[in-house]
Structure 1
Amino acid sequence: MRKVLPVSGREWCDKHFRLPAGSSQTAGRWTTMPLQVVPLNMMCNRNIRCVVFQKSARIGYSKILVGSVSCLQAQYNTNVVIYQPTDDDAKDFTIDEIDAAWEMMPIMQRIFPYLFAKNEKNTVKKKVGAGWTLDIKGTHTPKNTRRLTKSALFADEVDGWIWRFAKEGTPIKPARARLEGAAFPMERWGTTPTVAGESHIEVLMSEVDFTFRFYLPCPHCDHEQVLVWGDKDSQHGMKWENTKTSIAAKSRTAHYLCISCTQKIHYNQLSAMEKAGRWIAEDGTWTNDGIQFFSDSNEKVSTPRKVGLHCWAGYSINLSFGWIGLVEEFLSCGGDPAKLQPFVNLVLGELWEGDNAEKLDWEHLKLRREIWWAGDRKENPVHSRACILTGGIDTQDDRVEFYVWAWGVGEECWLVDHIVVLGDLSSDAMQEMAGKQLYNQYMKANGEKMDVSLWCWDAMGHKTDDVYKMSREHGKLWVIPIQGENKYGKPIASFPRKKNLKKVYLTRLGTDGLKERLYGRLNLTPKSINDPVPGCIHFPLDDDICGDEFFKQLCSASKKLEINKSGQRNWRWVKQYHVFDEALDCWNYANAALNILMQRFGFVLTEP
């Protein structure tokens, strides 16, 4: 009849939790790493209402989640719901993480008599134990966040959840409603982050009272600091020797520089540093166990109700190749935004700012103009690394504007030409003049002549029928009428399977995605004319096609967050300060043309 007193999450897991062979590097008894002590204890601490964990991969979060749920059920008979992004994710999580671990844990066999049975009390969606229930659901449909009453909500991979339901808004609110009436309501949110401005974890982190980060003492000077990646201009953070020739050679020199004494710290010193570390919030509040909290003057304070945690892969002492592997992974990105975003999200545990970051000012962009041709630019305006030309066309009441862009490997691009034909496209004379511009040829320095391989022509407005006519006359698969859709999540270019009633291939563009792509790439700085930079956008030193007006138009949009009366958050692109935006739109159209060539016609960007 003796009652067993509850223990901390760390103590319980070290005694009872087991790691399954299928989803763990080392199967068997769990041992809490110093990095995991505070997150695990916080998630099991019933005095903390909300824990929000913005984290990278490789720090054992899935195991912490299963260990926390098991601890709460074994010690407090807590009714729990675990939410995953989709039902398939929920099913896989149940099989790979929950069932696999519980089958190795004698204590779960005692409190869950149906562990090895296959019936309605033990499914991939629901577990009914001795005095508790566990539901595992996806959040892709509203019905999965209804009709449940729980004491604890564990939300995994929150940034993989749908952004909002069509009629009910964000899924966060109905998920939270499951805790109404609970004596000790607990919310536990965790994810690797995605894109700034479109991230659930970004919103959740803004709601917490404190955000704790892991401070480690320097082995040389004892100065406490948060580990950061740093950059080439910072005097501290992750460093390597750039004098080496290969990525592998540079990576082998990986080390960390202390922010205080600037001495080198090596990966094999990390474990000892973490044993002496503590988690500190912005106001100086700190804890080294997630149970007791102290002020910056070391006086004991009450437990905070809503806490945030942030941690990244540089803290993990279980990395196969240590910091060497992280540096090699970073260098392998080569400045390519498509590769950098996963690194920022999954390794650094940070929001990707590339798409939504503030754009470079148009005057700064103008200073980046280059000369890549020999002699007269008009004679050979195409860069030697370019392998294809595409064009974007914008129609106004009194003119038609043509922009030609050259593309190389990694979608590196160069502005080749800008043509303005004055007149009303509805007239036969104007259609003839505009039609002639479609057949212009452009030359490289080696004498190779290039045609524009595909045009995308804006068909919105009251010139739609005229654009359709130009497509039919000059090539239905060469001059593509396009219509922009200002809505997030739309594909870059949805090329139709068949012609519409006007006998043309009207293609819908995801203009928001195109603008994000452009503005993310404008921050890529070319190193030199001869060094390729994937995604980099190059501008010629030529006022005729690339003057002040061009750059003002290119930077004419900005992204604004709108919150409607129902609390739904939506991003909208709005004109910033310039009335015209043809340069911006035509880059979008030319890039969409490139995507159509690659997706519809199988074109591959290769070295010329």
Structure 2
Amino acid sequence: MDLSEIQKAITKGLSALAAPTPMSLSSWAAEHFYLSAESSYVEQKWQAFPYQVAILDAMSNDDIEEVVFIKSARVGYTKMILAAMGYFAHHKRRNQAVWQPTDEDADDFVKTEVDTMLRDVAAMATVFPAFMQRSKDNTMRKKGFLGSTLHIRGGKAAKNYRRLSVDVIYLDELDGFDSDVEKEGSPVVLSRKRIEGATFPKQILGSTPKLKGFSLIEGRSEQAEQRFSFRVPCPHCGGEHVVRWGGKDKPFGFKWQGDDPGTVLHYCPLCGEGYSQADYLTVWRRGRWVSETGMWIDLDGRFRSPEGEVVRAPRSVSFWVWTAYSEMTPWSQIVREFLSAQAKAKKGDTSELKTFVNTTLGETWEEDVEKADHEQLKARAEPYALRTLPMGVLAVTAGIDVQDDRFEIVVWGWGEGEESWPVDYQVLAANPASEASWDQLDAYLKTTYPHASGQVLGIEAAAIDTGGHFTHQVYNFVRTRGGQRLYAVRGEPAAGKPIKGRATKQDINYKGVMVKRGVRLWHVGTDTAKDLLFGRLKLSTPEPGQSMPGFVHFSDQLPVAFYEQLTAEVRVIQRTPRGEEHRWVKRKSGARNEVLDCTVYAMFAAYCLDLHRYTKPMWDRLRERVAPRQGDLLSDPLPGAIEQLLAVPAEAPATDSSVPEASVPTAHDDNWLGDTDGWLGR
């Protein structure tokens, strides 16, 4: 081999490591990207639509950290992020991660999109030698390139957001993700942690929007520094405007004659003249992205002020585009879809209309949802002091939520027919990794409350959430508090689950010591509890001095945050593997709902006392123990009304002969508490 051949071999071997001439993503895609047959209507070399160019260049602009894309179906978003993945692997050699809503979605994405792109885009062969090989660098979860790696994950599990350090991240179909991933935070925040420390961090978020007020992509768009829409010149007056659906009561937008979709025209909001899709396609290449503040993007991807001066790119940008902008979908087809959806909606079936709004118009669907208004609840508050018990209260339970820096506690008093009163709301600053903080919580749970009758009641039962980062600390706390009705719980947010579900034995790994089957973990049907609670919140206010089964009272000393968190969720319809189901979700991403969670756990604790099964004679007997007719403020404390009730001799006569003997509690009747494993079971 002569010297020239050696030099050629060395040059070829080092070519993959050479720094390429800088180029934008739109330029790279025009030169290298290819549409594969398996995932495109037509197999061919990529040619960007006019509205795609600026979005692609924003994705590759190192000054922009976040790109948000609200879109309908059929506008080419998936191809755009595939082109970006190829660009960052081939041209910029940056580590990437993409999340799909579920693991199954991630697998399908790899098979139908990623693998075909790596096969058909010739440039990728120079940086992905493992293609078509059985290799650790070519799996369903990882594609190892020369100088970089692409990770592919599903978004349901919090563990899928850990142990990754990348430069570029994508969240595809963001509105399909859980708003709070296993109670560890939003997928946007969890994924963003993976680019902290990157020289040029980039987060690309795209989705078809879903429900108004609960759309993650809409929330990110609202937080963007600049929000852009694509404006085209009118074929008649030349005025730039956004192509919009409009509506029957709007003078602009799409109009057609009778029920004939073929006559559809878009009417300019400036001059009022209509034009066809063919007319639109003569001017769409002269369209440009303009923000709400007048900032616009030129053909070279540069950001300009309203006066035309070049300015620095915003840190975060948002784009919105819908089906009518694409030449791939006839406008007549859009109208035809609408007419079909409208006909079904008139018969009461709005499912097709909802799909039209989301996937064709690229807008959120506003739906009537079951919710409670915090202002209305606050307005009906009553003048009773917190940490005191009104006369109607006959038992007290607590719910506890464990956060990284605090314990949230809500204490509820319960009366006949499960009429209820919040009697305390505490946020205890804490470090759950510290023994001292748990001692502080233990001391609080021994608090007693003066009753209007003159007696003193303590917390009969308490439930503490095991979710979050301190599960084993919670287990250990519950295990070591013998003599207290303290329950370790985990919420099960699914339709039909009982409020007091099954209990399972759990191992405890605390301070390196394993305790086999050391604690009972109780499963709480949170959706069922919320259904019950929100139904009770709708009950009419009883007359002064009258009781009402199930009615929820409020103290005028409760802070506004209590009401906001209690009503932080609404009941909506969501698609599940079992079909459409009602689920409780937060009104807004990131909203705090600890008061609601604690209230649900306090309801569970009341169920553990069997209060939901009490008959009138049972309530009467409990009232005689708690609020005897001759109350005395100086009388001995009554630390537990249920404890005292259990101490009543078995032969004590029932106040109603119709009550079976089995309902009369005795000191040995553990089942009176609804706990077949004994009242210390947890």
- Compute the TM-score of the two structures, normalised by the length of structure 2: 0.53
Give the whole-Å Cα distance in 2 for the aligned partners of 1:201 and 1:3.
Answer: 35
Q: Aligned letter for 2:115?
A: D
Closer/same/farther in 2, CA of residues 169 and 235 from structure 1, 3 Å limit: same
Of 90, 97, 110 in structure 1, the residue corresponding to residue 126 of structure 2 is: 110
Of 329, 332, 338 in structure 2, the residue corresponding to residue 330 of structure 1 is: 338
Match of 1:285 in 2: 295
1:311 CA displacement = 0.8
Contact kept, 8 Å, 2:94 with 2:167, in 1: the verdict is yes
Closer/same/farther in 2, CA of residues 102 and 510 from structure 1, 3 Å limit: farther
Q: Secondary structure at the match of 2:254?
A: strand
1:185-334 to structure 2, matched below 5 A, reads 185-241=201-257, 244=258, 249-289=259-299, 291-319=301-329, 322-334=330-342
Give the whole-Å Cα distance in 1 for the aligned partners of 2:192 and 2:252.
Answer: 41
Contact kept, 8 Å, 1:81 with 1:134, in 2: the verdict is yes
Match of 1:71 in 2: 87
- The yes-or-no answer on 1:349 pairing with 2:362 is yes
Contact kept, 8 Å, 1:488 with 1:513, in 2: the verdict is no
Give the whole-Å Cα distance in 2 for the aligned partners of 1:357 and 1:311.
Answer: 31
Closer/same/farther in 2, CA of residues 329 and 79 from structure 1, 3 Å limit: same
Give the whole-Å Cα distance in 2 for the aligned partners of 1:571 and 1:192.
Answer: 30
1:28 CA displacement = 2.1
1:272 CA displacement = 2.3
- The yes-or-no answer on 1:126 pairing with 2:139 is no
Of 40, 43, 47 in structure 2, the residue corresponding to residue 31 of structure 1 is: 47
Contact kept, 8 Å, 1:230 with 1:236, in 2: the verdict is yes
Match of 2:20 in 1: 4
Give the whole-Å Cα distance in 2 for the aligned partners of 1:358 and 1:237.
Answer: 34
Closer/same/farther in 2, CA of residues 275 and 72 from structure 1, 3 Å limit: same
Contact kept, 8 Å, 1:17 with 1:29, in 2: the verdict is yes
Give the whole-Å Cα distance in 1 for the aligned partners of 2:60 and 2:248.
Answer: 40
1:463 CA displacement = 5.8
Closer/same/farther in 2, CA of residues 513 and 237 from structure 1, 3 Å limit: farther
Give the whole-Å Cα distance in 2 for the aligned partners of 1:513 and 1:7.
Answer: 59
1:264 CA displacement = 1.1
Q: Deviations over 1:400-448 (max 9, x none)?
A: xxxxxxxxxxxxxxxxxxxxxxxxxxxxxxxxxxxxxxxxxxxxxxxxx
1:311-460 to structure 2, matched below 5 A, reads 311-319=321-329, 322-334=330-342, 335=345, 336-355=349-368
Match of 2:642 in 1: none
Match of 2:173 in 1: 157
Contact kept, 8 Å, 1:57 with 1:192, in 2: the verdict is yes
Contact kept, 8 Å, 1:46 with 1:184, in 2: the verdict is yes
Structure 2 residue runs without a partner (length 5+): 1-10, 12-17, 373-413, 419-490, 500-524, 536-562, 570-585, 597-682
1:488 CA displacement = 11
Match of 1:546 in 2: none
Contact kept, 8 Å, 1:19 with 1:26, in 2: the verdict is yes
Contact kept, 8 Å, 2:142 with 2:149, in 1: the verdict is yes
Closer/same/farther in 2, CA of residues 512 and 333 from structure 1, 3 Å limit: farther
Closer/same/farther in 2, CA of residues 291 and 54 from structure 1, 3 Å limit: same
Give the whole-Å Cα distance in 2 for the aligned partners of 1:30 and 1:513.
Answer: 55
What is the total number of aligned residue pairs between the two structures?
A: 395
1:271 CA displacement = 2.1
Q: Secondary structure at the match of 1:239?
A: strand
Give the whole-Å Cα distance in 1 for the aligned partners of 2:291 and 2:194.
Answer: 29
Q: Secondary structure at the match of 2:183?
A: coil
Give the whole-Å Cα distance in 1 for the aligned partners of 2:37 and 2:233.
Answer: 34
Closer/same/farther in 2, CA of residues 122 and 514 from structure 1, 3 Å limit: farther
Contact kept, 8 Å, 1:42 with 1:290, in 2: the verdict is no
1:12 CA displacement = 0.8
Give the whole-Å Cα distance in 2 for the aligned partners of 1:212 and 1:178.
Answer: 27
Give the whole-Å Cα distance in 1 for the aligned partners of 2:371 and 2:266.
Answer: 30
Match of 2:675 in 1: none
Closer/same/farther in 2, CA of residues 187 and 256 from structure 1, 3 Å limit: same
Give the whole-Å Cα distance in 2 for the aligned partners of 1:270 and 1:357.
Answer: 42
1:569 CA displacement = 4.6
Closer/same/farther in 2, CA of residues 265 and 358 from structure 1, 3 Å limit: farther
1:289 CA displacement = 3.6
Of 96, 103, 114 in structure 1, the residue corresponding to residue 112 of structure 2 is: 96
Contact kept, 8 Å, 2:169 with 2:202, in 1: the verdict is yes
Give the whole-Å Cα distance in 2 for the aligned partners of 1:126 and 1:52.
Answer: 25
Give the whole-Å Cα distance in 2 for the aligned partners of 1:260 and 1:38.
Answer: 25
Give the whole-Å Cα distance in 1 for the aligned partners of 2:246 and 2:531.
Answer: 31
Q: Aligned letter for 1:141?
A: A
Contact kept, 8 Å, 2:254 with 2:266, in 1: the verdict is yes
Give the whole-Å Cα distance in 2 for the aligned partners of 1:514 and 1:318.
Answer: 49
Give the whole-Å Cα distance in 2 for the aligned partners of 1:57 and 1:513.
Answer: 38
Give the whole-Å Cα distance in 2 for the aligned partners of 1:35 and 1:184.
Answer: 25
1:270 CA displacement = 2.2
Contact kept, 8 Å, 1:561 with 1:571, in 2: the verdict is no
Closer/same/farther in 2, CA of residues 118 and 175 from structure 1, 3 Å limit: same
Contact kept, 8 Å, 2:281 with 2:327, in 1: the verdict is yes
Q: Secondary structure at the match of 1:291?
A: coil
Contact kept, 8 Å, 1:330 with 1:343, in 2: the verdict is yes
1:520-531 to structure 2, matched below 5 A, reads none
Q: Aligned letter for 1:279?
A: W
Give the whole-Å Cα distance in 2 for the aligned partners of 1:13 and 1:183.
Answer: 24
Q: Secondary structure at the match of 1:251?
A: strand
Structure 1 residue runs without a partner (length 5+): 360-459, 465-486, 497-505, 517-556, 574-608
Contact kept, 8 Å, 2:185 with 2:590, in 1: the verdict is yes
Closer/same/farther in 2, CA of residues 570 and 235 from structure 1, 3 Å limit: farther
Give the whole-Å Cα distance in 1 for the aligned partners of 2:497 and 2:268.
Answer: 50
Q: Deviations over 1:494-523 (max 9, x none)?
A: 799xxxxxxxxx9x869769999xxxxxxx
1:273 CA displacement = 2.0
1:4 CA displacement = 3.2
Q: Secondary structure at the match of 1:206?
A: helix
Q: Aligned letter for 2:310?
A: K
Q: Aligned letter for 1:71?
A: Y
Give the whole-Å Cα distance in 1 for the aligned partners of 2:89 and 2:33.
Answer: 13
Contact kept, 8 Å, 2:235 with 2:280, in 1: the verdict is no
Of 184, 203, 222 in structure 2, the residue corresponding to residue 168 of structure 1 is: 184
Contact kept, 8 Å, 1:489 with 1:510, in 2: the verdict is no
1:70 CA displacement = 0.6
Q: Secondary structure at the match of 2:263?
A: coil
Give the whole-Å Cα distance in 2 for the aligned partners of 1:513 and 1:240.
Answer: 48
Q: Secondary structure at the match of 1:240?
A: strand
Q: Deviations over 1:548-578 (max 9, x none)?
A: xxxxxxxxx99954799x95455999xxxxx
Give the whole-Å Cα distance in 2 for the aligned partners of 1:284 and 1:514.
Answer: 48
Match of 1:548 in 2: none
Match of 1:451 in 2: none
1:206 CA displacement = 2.0
Q: Once the two structures are aligned, what percentage of the paired residues are identical?
A: 35
Q: Secondary structure at the match of 2:143?
A: strand
1:13-28 to structure 2, matched below 5 A, reads 13-28=29-44
Q: Which has the larger radius of gyration?
A: 2
